[in-house]
Structure 1
Amino acid sequence: MDFKQSVITCLKDKYVDFSGRAGRPEFWWFALFTLVVGLVVGMVSDILAMLVNLGLVLPSLAVGARRLHDIGKSGWFQLLWFIPVLGWAVMIYFLVQPTGAANQYGEGPAPAPDAPTALPPGAV
Structure 2
Amino acid sequence: MQWYLKVLKQYADFSGRARRTEFWMFVLFNILAVIVLSIIDVLIGTASFSTTSTGFSTSGGLLTTIYQLAVLVPSLAVGARRLHDTGRSGWWQLLALIPLVGAIILIVWWATDGQPGANEYGMNPKQEVAGGYPQGGYPQQQYPQQGYPQGGYQQQGYPQQPQQQYPPQQQYPGAPQA
TM-score range, shorter chain: 0.7 to 0.9
* Aligned counterparts, 1:14-93, within 5 A: 14-45=10-41, 46-93=61-108
The letter of the residue matching 1:8 is L
Give 1:108's aligned residue.
Answer: 124
TM-score of the superposed pair, with normalisation by structure 1: 0.84
Distance across 2 between alignment mates of 1:89 and 1:110: 25
Q: Is the strand fraction higher in 1 or 2? A: 2
Q: Whose Rg is larger?
A: 2
CA contact (8 A) 2:85 2:114 kept: yes
Of the structure 1 ranges 54-63 and 38-47, higher mean CA displacement relative to structure 2 is found in 38-47
CA contact (8 A) 2:85 2:115 kept: yes
Quote the offset at 1:110 in angstroms. Answer: 2.6
The letter of the residue matching 1:44 is I
1:5 to 2, 17, 20: 2
Q: What percent identity do the matched residue pairs reach?
A: 44
5+ residue gaps, structure 2 = 42-60, 132-178
Distance across 2 between alignment mates of 1:53 and 1:38: 8
RCO greater where, 1 or 2, for CA within 8 Å and sep 6 or more? 1
Secondary structure class of the residue paired with 1:110: helix
The letter of the residue matching 1:70 is D
Give 1:122's aligned residue.
Answer: none
Q: How many residues align?
A: 110
Distance across 2 between alignment mates of 1:55 and 1:39: 16
Distance across 2 between alignment mates of 1:95 and 1:22: 10
Q: Is the helix fraction higher in 1 or 2? A: 1
Quote the offset at 1:43 in angstroms. Answer: 1.4
Distance across 2 between alignment mates of 1:15 and 1:9: 9
5+ residue gaps, structure 1 = 115-124
